Amino acid sequence: MMSDALLSGRASAGGSQMKSVVILISGRGSNLQALLDAKLPGRVAAVISDRAEALGLALAQARGVATAVLDHRRYASREAFDAALADEIAAHGADLVVLAGFMRILGDDFVRRFAGRLLNIHPSLLPLFPGLKPHAQALAAGVKIHGCTVHFVTPALDAGPIVIQAAVPVHGDDDENELAARVLVQEHRIYPLAVRWFLEDRLCLTPEGRVALADEGPPASPLIAPVAA
């Protein structure tokens, strides 16, 4: 079994070295699966979980991707866990670190070490509904449009520069699970896009902390919800 999963056999279009990605998970791993399925122009060097029971670990192993578990309970402090995690990521030579349902908050030192090469997906249209239970927050607020956001990670929780968002309508009779499922379909579309852009050197964070994206394409159509008959 290969220790690295080759997501594509080709180097990026510019002929530069193929980049390595380390993906951090805590659970189910459906975004991980979307990334692995996307045949991205880079390679997943490792999948790391903070929970041994994370279902995504088996998925990674089945694809021949190296896995590691770092249980925060084995570390004396948050800082010690973060340092061990950062060292494990660096040992895999990561050019990009992708948080895919990684549910531990990372400290400032960790975030600074990977500044500009640390992406997260959050299931809301940030800056609305950061933190826990974003779907419940959206339903409680009565918004008619909800969604998901890929952003560069900065020390402030869920507040980093936004790369891409997708929006879905909220239905009048939605419960949290129905809304989460509708958003998740869009997560699986936008996260591989954002990662692809980074791997193709089309996406970066500027020194001023702004998102720069080459060849952005035409603006998307508006989403209006609800649409009365």
User: Measured from the CB of residue 198, what is the shortest distance to ligand GAR in angstroms?
Assistant: 18
- Whether 135 is catalytic: no
User: Measured from the CB of residue 199, what is the shortest distance to ligand GAR in angstroms?
Assistant: 19
**88/69 Cα distance (integer angstroms):** 10
Between 29 and 41, CB nearer to ligand GAR: 29
Between 30 and 154, CB nearer to ligand GAR: 30
User: Measured from the CB of residue 17, what is the shortest distance to ligand GAR in angstroms?
Assistant: 28
**23/50 Cα distance (integer angstroms):** 12
Determine the distance from the C-alpha atom of residue 14 to the mean position of all C-alpha atoms in its chain, rounded to a whole number. 25
Residue 219, classified by CB atoms within 10 Å of its CB into exposed (0-12), middle (13-18) or buried (19+), is exposed
Chain residues that interact with ligand GAR, rule: CB under 6 A: 25, 27-31, 56, 100-101, 121-123, 184, 187
Between 143 and 184, CB nearer to ligand GAR: 184
Alpha helix locations (H) across the chain? 30-37, 55-62, 78-91, 108-113, 134-141, 176-199
Evaluate whether 145 touches 167 at the Cβ level (below 8 Å).
Answer: yes
Between 117 and 149, CB nearer to ligand GAR: 149
User: Measured from the CB of residue 103, what is the shortest distance to ligand GAR in angstroms?
Assistant: 6
The residue among 161, 133, 135, 137 whose CA lies nearest residue 149 is: 161
Evaluate whether 138 touches 177 at the Cβ level (below 8 Å).
Answer: no
Q: Which residue is nearest to ligand GAR (CB)?
A: 101
Candidate list 122, 135, 146, 188, residue with the active-site label: 122
Here the tokens at position 58 are 């088996």
Residues 6 or more apart whose CB falls under 8 angstroms from that of 25 comprise 32, 47, 48, 49, 54, 56, 57, 100, 101, 102
Between 62 and 91, CB nearer to ligand GAR: 62
User: Measured from the CB of residue 10, what is the shortest distance to ligand GAR in angstroms?
Assistant: 27
Residues designated catalytic: 122
